[in-house]
Amino acid sequence: MHNIISQLNSVKNRIYAAEKANNLPRDSIRLLAVSKMKPAEAIIAAYDGGQRDFGENYLQHALPKIEELKYLDGIQWHFIGPLQSNKTKAVAENFHWIHSIDRLKIASRLNEQRPDYMPSLNICLQVNVSGEQSKSGMAVSDAESLAQKITALPNLNLRGLMTIPAATADNAELLKQFGILKNCFDDLRQKGFDIDTLSMGMSADLETAVASGSNMVRVGTAIFGAR
């Protein structure tokens, strides 16, 4: 697991360089280490390297790891995958964040199922910025109305927006898609929503995402290796 520490450090160095290139203060970008499909040992290695935020997509893989690793102080679990309504309870009871909210139904269930002894569940709305039918996420034009409804749910804490752009090697196209999310974020803030998180950028495109205003990058492969 030696590799994981050195790969984690090189991702941190990429983030520092991106912060510098964009005149941002050091540590203004939060790194979410995406540990989906990776064993608990890999997560422990990254934790030992100082990492605290971990992202998981598949509930059935995540839950045993969360249980096994609950002794790790300050670890924060982020659910970043699609979620069916019959599986919301496990997210409400085990995660600190969910980035993939695109329907009120799921949010309402999470609000009801969040245990009283836990702090509010942090929420990012997933927005589809590519227009591709196959991609999850709501239309930009629906974000304000869902944000409004979620703000009214006491056990949820609306934190921001997330997107997964269409796969493309064209940097201009990527900038365009990230820019759509950034505009949506700025628009909501201007309308008074108290949000602080713009979750965009992965292993291959975190520099482009940071240049576009991201402040949370979700990085799997570059830390943990291929899946």
Ligand X SMILES: *Cc1c(COP(=O)(O)O)cnc(C)c1O
* Contact residues for ligand X, defined by CB under 6 A: 34, 36, 57, 80, 164, 202-204, 218-222
CB-nearer residue toward ligand X: 160 or 220: 220
Q: Which is nearer to ligand X, 105 or 227 (CB)?
A: 227
CB 127 within 8 A of CB 163: yes
Residue with smaller CB distance to ligand X, 124 or 180: 124
As a whole number of angstroms, the distance between CA 213 and CA 215 comes to: 6
Cross-strand bridge partners of residue 217: 31
CB of 186 to ligand X, least distance (A): 22
Nearest-approach distance from CB 220 to ligand X, in angstroms: 3
CA 37-48-223 angle, to 5 degrees, is 40
Are 97 and 159 within 8 A, CB to CB?
A: yes
Cβ-based nearer residue to ligand X, 33 or 66: 33
Q: How far is the CB of 180 from ligand X (least distance, A)?
A: 17
Q: How many Å apart are CA 181 and CA 90, to the nearest integer?
A: 29
Closest contact distance (angstroms) between CB of 223 and ligand X is 8
